[in-house]
Structure 1
């Protein structure tokens, strides 16, 4: 490789490394509590059970068909209440811990929420979590699933006055929707990592998750949406980790080049 080629390679790797460092530096991690839904108010039912039976610490809402599943329980019924099973096999989420199972039919769906305190106004915060999808046992039909995520001091509401339900927001409320998952009849959609950014407009704002299936249709197949590991360590390296790896490879390439030049000089 010519000197000019080494120079171009070094410049390219350095640019990638610096961009990754920059991307990792401008967004703070949103300070969410009880990330894997393993802490509960004493005296309530353990998973698998409905969200309102378990009462996870730091979280509110969840009055619809939303359950908290323990590892290995997605395909079995829980209780009390209709903590229904989905078709299997269904794998546990990569970050471990308990996970959310929610009916995506807007007729049965409500949000679960957490007030996030200690925010810095104007700061960009990163939120990450894992999502997956399935279908309640005993039902058939292809389905689609996603999460609607809200962050702010305003409000949102579900409007089902039309054939397809929609969501209306008021006040300071930002909505981000995850990628749509396509689930075959009687099947599942594997876990995938989601990441999104929100800018804080107040020192305290509410984070909300709303399961959404079949583009807002209310026919009961039903689409079932899963969520796990909010801002939990994942199998995907952070941007700063990628940056260090790139810079490390750059250093190795530089050392290797110097050694080759020395060998060439000795041979000559």
Structure 2
């Protein structure tokens, strides 16, 4: 009898399905909430080594975005600042502000759909990427980059613009353009581009989600994201937030299907009922002797 019960339990457990585990975000601070100075400002990993001249805040209070490196004219924006007080720039008394409702332009500009801080990057002036190095990758496995992005135009400049994001996964060495107005380029790595949006004068392109898949070629690689905009001299700005990198082989976990849970419960009740039944008909030795 015990053998039959054991066989029943084994059959039920065999019905448990194996499902992939939830993929984890391999990036640090993909929402840009962790910053060292609580204000909106430009951030550059080496602000005094660029060919264009100083590329840090005009008051020399350097900003750091945890986990990220920056080369170009890239700003971390706190909620509500982008079209009001703006962000501290390399130019004293000239904060970086985009056209929007906060300065009287009803173009629909909003903050990030994920909430909190986001990045605003000039796609045609002091052009350079934000980057993060990722380790423990599995060579030959696929990794998917997802992010939210939008586009706008710097206040006090006029004219139609275009914007996109170029995303590099690999070594991603970058060559800056020595002239402030102009475009840098990735020298290596796999590069993919988002869709391109076209904006009217003082326009805004609403936030949308983008997804790209890459194959790892090394255990440690860099993820770099570069704003690219046109034309020169009419500052096109691309915004980005909620960046994630997921993929690789994730160990599976056993998860019972709903129908399996029902079968297991029925089986456990059946086992319990059988054991109780056997106990109920058991007659003590002394009682059997009295019957005889």
TM-score bracket, shorter-length normalisation: 0.5 to 0.7
- TM-score, normalised with respect to structure 2: 0.62
Partner SS state of residue 94, structure 1? coil
- Structure 2 residue 38 is matched with structure 1 residue 46: yes
Q: Which residue of 1 aligns with 2:141?
A: 123
- Structure 2 residue 214 is matched with structure 1 residue 198: yes
Aligned-residue CA RMSD (Å): 2.9
Q: Work out the CA distance in 2 between the residues paired with 1:58 and 1:165.
A: 25
Structure 1 residues 123-179: Cα deviation after superposition (integer angstroms, max 9, x where no partner): 101110011000111111000001111110252435689x98573523xx0001110
Structure 1 residues 165-222: Cα deviation after superposition (integer angstroms, max 9, x where no partner): 573523xx000111001111011110010000011111110011111001xxx62101
Change (3 A) 1:80 1:187: closer
Q: Which residue of 2 aligns with 1:137?
A: 155
Q: Which residue of 2 aligns with 1:57?
A: 66
Q: Work out the CA distance in 1 between the residues paired with 2:24 and 2:215.
A: 11
The structure with the largest alpha-carbon Rg is 2
Q: Larger helix proportion, structure 1 or 2?
A: 1
- Structure 2 residue 84 is matched with structure 1 residue 92: no
Unmatched runs of 5 consecutive residues or more in structure 1: 1-23, 233-268
- TM-score, normalised with respect to structure 1: 0.67
Q: Work out the CA distance in 2 between the residues paired with 1:176 and 1:28.
A: 22
Unmatched runs of 5 consecutive residues or more in structure 2: 1-18, 45-61, 102-108, 246-292
Residue of 193, 196, 199 corresponding to 1:183: 199
